[in-house]
Structure 1
Amino acid sequence: MSTSATTSADGSAGSAFFAAYDAALARWPVPAEALDVRTEHGTTRVNACGPRDGRPLVLLHGGGATSAAWLACVGALAAAGHRVLAVDLIGDPGRSVLDGSPLGSVAGLLGWLDAVLDGLGVRTADLCGHSYGAWIALEYALHAPARVGRLALLDPTQCFAGFRPGYLLRVLPLLLLPRTTARARSYLDWESRGSGLDAGLREVYALGHAGFPASRPVTGPRPTPARLRELAAPTLVLVAELSRPHDARRLADSARAALPAATVTVLPGVSHHTLPTAHPAELNRHLTEFLTTHG
């Protein structure tokens, strides 16, 4: 197992973050194999599990969450026969290190993911993304349709609808300096409505928010209806009923209108940040059924 250098702005904060990250990863129900993939942008950490000859499934976490956030899903996905490849987004807190050329644009971001798949020896894969990771997954499926078999989008942001204005106002304090763990915890507790949030992952997010240099994520406009009509991959959209970033029913209706062939389901009792862990049996049932019966 190789280890990447930290990108933390402060040594003590970085140490606390990596201790929390490693503790969360140690809770995975299956052993994680750390793979480091070098690209022109830096080193990308991929935590892999499941059968080596299984169908590749790339997991893309939400902004600031790290690949450790998939701890409630990886066991079921690996047991279903997938080679699970959980990526630490480069430029985010985690064990990926952005020490090469900047991503710069959406094209650079998608080129980075091309290079990561090339480095892993993966020609085609299924993609599953949460939040910002869902936007990346959707953009990648439109960018490289021949490389994406099936697509699962978990409470996707900026894919089918915009953010609620009130949500954006609540998020603004996160952008202010200094970046603090207290501010990040307060945001997560508000978004999760005070329940269902995994305590260990809460700490990973809060420590990563405070301990790493602020980086501007690569974003772009929502895909147009015309672009979405070009999507070839069978698609699953799971929407969090209690999500603060958007109105769940409106998001589900927008996704159905944009992708009539997609499977769109609203998951009850979960918020945007608790969706990956609060009710794992239900989430894993939806994911495994979709990934084994489509494509």
Structure 2
Amino acid sequence: MSETYFAAYDALLARWPAGTAELTVPTPYGPTRVHAYGPPEAPPLVLLHGGGATGTAWFANAPALGARHRVYAVDILGDVGRSERTGLPLRRPRELMAWLDAVLDGLELPAAALCGHSYGGWVAAAYALHAPRRVRRLALLDPTQVFGGYRPGYLLRALWMLLRPTERRVGTYLDWETAGTGVDEDFRRLYVLGATLQGRGRPVVGRTLDPTPLAMPVLALFAGRSRVHHPETLADRARRLLPRARVHVLPGLGHHALPIAGAAPVDAIVLDFLGTPSAEGPSPR
């Protein structure tokens, strides 16, 4: 199964633009795989994927984002992918934050912009609360457990799939959530194989965050047809909690279809939020 999974992983990675570098960053919790693309001197942008997606999932966004930024797409440790969970225990959110500290240290990034989708949005927001001086700007794409919890109906579907995952069940779940909003077939295959990978670990999760202390510029972008939560409700809550944040709802996109199916509008909104490269200064690497 692992050979099949990593063949699917490599197939998605092959869709990244030419010039993408594969980095392995040592951390006390285990080596971390990072896909890097864009001018080395450009402002750094760290991408954190959704649960079960891996850093390869940003292939559709890398060309546009990497034209103006040095993109670092991380395989989050504890999830599926090519990062290896060895060394110190990684069980609690504070250990996950220490791991991301070590990743940025290994990449020689004193500070960077962070962009996270879904679970990666929770990781990015939690890290911005943990180390605000290291986060220049924070872009959250349909984040989970940042501005509110899950829909009960979604939880029932997801838990049923997670407790007894089979390729058919996981595929049915993904098709239900993305119905009519588009899902890339290579991404779907990797996601299904990852969810059913024998011996796979579970990502480190924590409570729903209180984002009100966030002081850096924040973008909150919600998928208008997300079944994970009520996007308009969370968008209104984001506006109340963070009055200075940029908040958008993209119609016609499901939670798992974002950001791949909506790459063009997502990239345009994120790049506009990040501003011109000169505004952030050069990358340390």
Q: What is the TM-score when the length of structure 2 is the normalising length?
A: 0.94
CA shift for structure 1 position 174: 1.9
Q: 1:127 maps to what in 2?
A: 114
**In 1, Cα distance between equivalents of 2:168 and 2:250:** 29
**In structure 2, what is the Cα distance between the partners aligned to 1:173 and 1:30?**
40
1:256 aligns with 2:244: no
Amino acid at match of 2:106: G
- Report the equivalent of 1:50: 38
Residue 212 of structure 1: how far off its partner (Å): 4.1
Query: Structure 2 residue aligned with 1:166, among 153, 170, 175?
Result: 153
How far apart are 1:237 and its partner, in Å? 0.7
CA contact (8 A) 1:57 1:126 kept: yes
Q: d(CA) in 2 for partners of 1:229 and 1:193?
A: 33
Q: State the shift of 1:180 in Å.
A: 1.8
Among candidates 184, 187, 199, match of residue 201 of structure 1: 187
Which of 9, 12, 37 in structure 2 is aligned with 1:21?
9
Name the CA distance, whole Å, in 2 between partners of 1:230 and 1:171: 30
- The aligned runs of 1:26-41 (5 Å cut-off) are 26-41=14-29
Q: How many residues align?
A: 278
Q: Is the 8 A contact 2:31 2:85 kept in 1?
A: yes
C-alpha deviation, 1:273, in angstroms: 0.4
Q: Which amino acid aligns with 1:216?
A: R
Partner of 2:131: 144
Q: Which residue of 2 aligns with 1:216?
A: 202
Q: How does 1:92-111 map to 2 (within 5 A)?
A: 92-111=79-98
Residue number in structure 1 paired with 2:283: none
CA distance in 2, matches of 1:253, 1:160: 9
1:9 maps to which residue? none
Q: Distance in 2 between matches of 1:139 and 1:260?
A: 19
Q: What are the Cα deviations for residues 66-119 of structure 1, in whole angstroms up to 9, with x where unaligned?
A: 011101111001112x11000001111101010222212111000000001111
Q: What's the secondary structure of 2:196's corresponding residue?
A: helix
Contact 1:105 1:218 in 2 (8 A): yes
Equivalent residues of 1:56, 1:85 under 8 A apart? yes
Q: Retained in 2: the 8 A contact 1:30–1:74? A: no
* d(CA) in 1 for partners of 2:112, 2:128: 10
The one-letter amino acid of 1:288's match is L
Aligned mates of 1:210, 1:35 — CA distance in 2: 26
The residue aligned with 1:276 is 259
Unmatched runs of 5 consecutive residues or more in structure 1: 1-12
- What one-letter code is carried by the residue in structure 2 that aligns with 1:241? G
> d(CA) in 1 for partners of 2:72 and 2:122?
18
- CA-to-aligned-CA distance 1:194-233 (integer Å, 9 cap, x gap): 5410000000101111124242322222223xxx332121
1:238 and 2:221 correspond: yes
Q: Distance in 1 between matches of 2:255 and 2:162?
A: 19
Q: Percent identity?
A: 54
Aligned partners of 1:189 and 1:195 also within 8 Å: no
Q: In 1, are the aligned partners of 2:77 and 2:203 still within 8 Å (CA)?
A: no
| Shift of residue 37, structure 1, vs aligned partner | 0.9
Contact 1:66 1:93 in 2 (8 A): yes
SS in 2 for 1:114: helix
Report the AA paired with residue 83 of structure 2: S
Which of 76, 100, 103 is 1:89 aligned to?
Answer: 76
Which residue of structure 2 lines up, in the alignment, with residue 183 of structure 1? 169
- Helix, strand or coil at the partner of 1:172: helix
Verify the 8 A CA contact 2:181 2:254 in the aligned structure 1: no
Distance of 1:105 and 1:211 partners within structure 2: 22
Q: Which runs of 5+ in 2 are unaligned?
A: 281-285
